[in-house]
Amino acid sequence: MITTESISAIREQVRAWRIKGETVAFVPTMGNLHLGHLTLVKEARSRADHVIASIFVNPMQFGQNEDLDAYPRTLADDQNALIEAGAELLFTPTPAIIYPKGMDAQTFVEVPLISDQLCGESRPGHFRGVATIVCKLFNIVQPDIAVFGQKDFQQLLVIKTMVEDLSMPIEIIGVATIRETSGLAMSSRNGYLTAAQKQRAVVLKQTLDNMAIELSSGKQIDAVIEAAETTIAAAGFKNDYLDIRHAKTFSKALNSDRELVILVAAYMGDTRLIDNLVVKLP
């Protein structure tokens, strides 16, 4: 696997593949890779002739008092894991390469409406940072396919909307959340949890599952959310949000809706965890 921080090197290699009529899939990451990330790479490998991954801890999507400086950097381990998963090219730019004029002078991309809700409301500017870096990476790599995890359902929807709105010729693939044996969604931030916190954190997925059962039995949405908030708080979480949305439009779910997504963000100690569950009602 080739590792480079050079934009021109990425473009030169992609051009060489294109001349031969070969396809390119892309998996952008912030590194500190786990099985969830590697599943994305393997999915990309199954859909294209070549796979490019990137590792870039994007300062634009971190807010004040968030964990930018503490975010784990594990490049050597990540490289080995990517080779095993089938990536052929790894792009590892620095902030100076991505934002040469500094972030304050950087053109940005913003997806309206979706970006202002839930995680966007809790983390102002977060999805502007996500959309901007993903758009820039897409312009650098110019892939046929890009693969993302469904663990961050809202982020995936932001990216799909951006690609559609800006007429980008890229197919966006969402891959189901990879979980630990306990049911906890795999995340780089799980490493911040103590053993005791990690044990309590499994309540998030258990609560989502119970909410799905209650919705399927005809229980009203507001009542389902209220009961779940109590359960999460009793497990030691500080709730950021817990909501049920229409899975396609992301609008507030109505009791008559059949395609739903339950979304949660909550703090276990200082660690913010997110999860979601798509529910299709009869």
- As annotated, the active-site residues are 37
Say how many Å lie between the first and final Cα of the chain, rounded.
47
- Tracing tokens 């102002």 back to the chain, one arrives at 124
**Pairwise CA distance, residues 151 & 281, whole Å:** 21
Six token digits for residue 164: 């559609």
Q: Which of 192, 73, 58, 54 is nearest to 125 (CA)?
A: 58
Q: What type of residue sits at position 133?
A: I
Q: 185: which 2 tokens?
A: 């969604």
Q: Is the CB of residue 173 less than 8 Å from the CB of residue 147?
A: yes
Sign of CA dihedral 83, 88, 93, 99: negative
CA dihedral of residues 98, 100, 101, 107 (deg, nearest 10): -30
Q: Whats the size of the chain, residue-wise?
A: 282
Q: Answer whether 32's CB lies under 8 Å from 67's CB.
A: no
Q: How far is CA 38 from each of CA 43, 138, 173, 186, 252, rounded to the nearest angstrom?
A: 9, 20, 14, 11, 33
Q: How far apart are CA 219 and CA 209, in angstroms?
A: 14
Q: Could you give the 3-state DSSP secondary structure of residue 87? A: coil
